Structure 1
Amino acid sequence: MKKISHRLQKIDSMVSIHYQSIWDCCCDHGFLGLTLLKRQAADTIHFVDIVPSLTTQLESVLQQHFSSDDYLLHWQVHCLDVAKLPLTNQDKQLVIIAGVGGELLIHFIKEIISHFNQIAPVNSISDIEFMLCPVHYNYQVRQTLIAHHCTLIDECIVTDNKRFYEVIHVKKEFGVSADIHSPLNKVSPTGDIMWDLSIRSHQQYLAKTIDHYQRMLLATKGDEQIKIKHIINQYSNLLS
């Protein structure tokens, strides 16, 4: 099996417990899901992509290499829109969305949470875990997680092929016992436990992020400019 990228290796390493279902969304060629399947990280690994040619090719690979009794009942391939993910109420499930733009990722999160709200049992607690690795718009993705009262499990900064990525692992609880006001494990709009500014790459990533918003500031006016100044201040405060 092809060696996966450093970014996907990091996501794989952050899947540290066994799940009932793991959904590898926008899975492309399925390298992450195949790695998780090989080490049996879940009862079922779901490979999800909206491109039929990719899911057909992936199913062929799975039939060829993972058709033994050890694996055959532990994978499924779905050709569908991630926003319409057919989640059910389960004990432990993880939705992984990596390598897509932040705006699309935000759309997926909102739709998945909205759908699950409709099926979650009213008188009990249930949850979905998300492992997210956006391409751009990390601040906006985090604001969406905050707005939906997600709690932080883990987060990290990954450098891969000269690009910086954030991996954000959160849990969204549903039901009467979900404590949305708990101060513990809040998602930070700029990241919290992922930063170690003694590491040069983290210094570079922070400087690059602040520079990005400073350039945006020059092209905006009015209320939008006030918002961007606030974002710059939040990132700058990480230096103090």
Structure 2
Amino acid sequence: MQNTTLYLIRHSIKYDIKDIVENYNTSDSEQIKNEKLILSIEGERRAEILSNEKELQNIDIVYASVLVRTLETAKYLLEKQNLKINLDNRLDERRRGRPNDDIYPDWFTKQFLDENFKTVGGESQKDVRKRMDEVISEIIKNNKGKRIAIFSHGYAIIYYLLKYCKLISVNSDRNITFSFNDKVVFDKKISAPEVFKLVFDSNDKVISIENLEFDDLK
């Protein structure tokens, strides 16, 4: 049986709501506001460029979180390859809970160094990895031998990858370094978009992980 290829794709650049909204009169929670964020103009441009990358052609099936920014990133690939999308909230970004900066000034590094760390109403690394692993295992099982694209989020993707990868370092500048089979596969800040390629064998075992970089998106 053929190997299964999975592309884990972080959404493109989103608008910072503080940059474009003067007044936001809504009863929506901060979580809902976050889920509704759209791509910036540059984010739209980069999402379209991504859809034309040779590596991402001939995709068989596409999945995404239910957040607006993943759908806006995926739409170019869907249109280009005449595909439909499967939405699953288990692919959503980590729930942030209450604002972290005042209570936990070191929250960014802490969330990676302590898999059980979370704020009130938020999710831990362990929580997110559990649901990500659950849904991705189902996807791999149901699509053996196919080329799969999953549009998700930075933290959710990295937390999932840490099931297989070893965290080497993380710092307050948000640079993250981790390795797979003793080879460094990531050593930088998370970009938007960001793409990881995973290959699974016929027994659903991960045999390779790489971070794909495209010259026209640097």
TM-score clears 0.5: no
After TM superposition, the score normalised by the length of structure 2 is 0.38
Structure having the higher helix fraction is 1
User: Per chain length, whose mean CA-contact separation is higher, i.e. which structure has more relative contact order (CA < 8 Å, sep 6+)?
Assistant: 2
